[in-house]
């Protein structure tokens, strides 16, 4: 995964949905809404919530959720067509008929910047760690970052790591342990970012991954990437390890050669 950027922390496209609902089935619609908030997040989006009737019209509801681009939104729609939980949610609404109609439109959000809580895992092995290598699209600087992602509400950092690795690599892990916490202030894609980063170490259950030069993965928006094993000499040659302070933390713990 990449640092927070307009593609992750400042979404570029927001979907606005206006629902006409059955006012006598609001509890069913609320349960449906909570389900889709989780599903959109799991599939790489940022959900801003559902807004149910209160005062005024008793049959109008809204929701807002964002993706990094219209292409990422279309990828989500495509994934949803075959995702068992998404199929079940659509079938529930069709069967119970608590949604009478909806209108969808797309907006460009203007949001206040926020601090992001993040969990990363280094998977250290014989003086090397596993990182994703990528370029800042504006500066073209090459950066190296361990795998992981955002910590969801109600989720512990170690659970976020297990979920992210399963989603991105399709791999199970064990022996997850916290190494330290970093605060990262940075610019990526000409956009300022601010992250509180929990740094973990863990072990792959599939030991053969440690013998591979590359580990194939897939971002939440479906785009493929290759994670690689690197040591300090590699970072000197390829590009810096981020977030700032991570390389010093790992050296102090004698985990990075």
> Does one domain contain both 130 and 77?
no
Query: pLDDT tens digit string along 52-85?
Result: 999 999 999 999 999 988 888 999 999 999 999 9
Per-residue confidence band for 1, with pLDDT thresholds at 50, 70 and 90? low
* Confidence at residue 242, expressed as pLDDT on a 0 to 100 scale: 97
Domain range for 65 is 13-107
Tokens of 46: 């940022």
Strands (E), 83-213: 99-107, 116-121, 129-135, 142-150, 173-188, 191-204
* pLDDT of amino acid 221: 63
Q: What is the pLDDT of residue 189?
A: 83
Q: Which two tokens stand for residue 85?
A: 């939980």
Question: Domain check: are 32 and 103 in the same one?
Answer: yes
Domain stops at, among 40, 74, 107: 107
| 121 and 78 in a common domain | no
Say if residue 75 is in the same domain as residue 163: no
- What would the pLDDT profile of 179-202 be if each residue is shown by its tens digit? 999 999 999 888 889 999 999 999
* Residue 8 pLDDT: 38
In the chain, the number of structural domains is 2
* CA 112/CA 194 separation, integer angstroms: 12
Asked if residue 143 and residue 42 are part of one domain, the reply reads no
Question: Does 126 lie in the same domain as 24?
Answer: no
Q: Show which of 107, 137, 163 is a domain's final residue.
A: 107
- CATH code for position 165: 3.90.79.10
> To the nearest whole percent, how much of the chain has pLDDT over 70?
95
Does some domain include residue 1?
Answer: no
- E strands, 22-97, are 46-51, 60-67
Nearest to 161 by CA among 199, 135, 218: 199
């Amino acid at each position: 995964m990449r640092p927070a950027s307009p593609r992750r922390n400042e979404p570029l496209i927001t979907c606005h949905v206006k629902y006409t609902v059955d006012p006598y089935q609001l509890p069913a619609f609320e349960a449906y809404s909570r389900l889709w908030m989780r599903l959109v997040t799991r599939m790489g989006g940022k959900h801003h919530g559902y807004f149910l009737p209160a005062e005024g019209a008793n049959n109008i509801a809204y929701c807002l959720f964002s993706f990094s681009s219209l292409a990422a939104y279309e990828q989500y729609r495509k994934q949803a067509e075959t995702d068992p939980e998404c199929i079940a949610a659509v079938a529930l609404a069709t069967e119970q008929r608590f949604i009478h109609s909806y209108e969808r439109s797309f907006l460009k959000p203007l949001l206040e910047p926020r601090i992001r809580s993040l969990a990363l895992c280094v998977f250290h092995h014989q003086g090397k760690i596993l990182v994703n290598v990528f370029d800042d699209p504006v500066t073209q600087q090459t950066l190296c970052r361990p795998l992981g992602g955002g910590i969801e509400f109600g989720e512990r950092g170690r659970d976020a790591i297990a979920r992210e690795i399963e989603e991105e690599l399709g791999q199970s892990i064990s022996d997850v342990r916290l190494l330290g916490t970093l605060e990262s202030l940075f610019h990526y894609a000409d956009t300022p970012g601010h992250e509180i980063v929990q740094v973990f170490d863990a072990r792959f259950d599939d030991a053969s991954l440690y013998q591979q030069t590359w580990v194939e993965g897939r971002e939440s928006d479906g785009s493929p990437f290759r994670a690689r094993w690197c040591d300090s000499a590699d970072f000197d040659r390829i590009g810096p390890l981020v977030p700032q302070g991570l390389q010093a933390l790992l050296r102090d713990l004698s985990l990075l050669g």
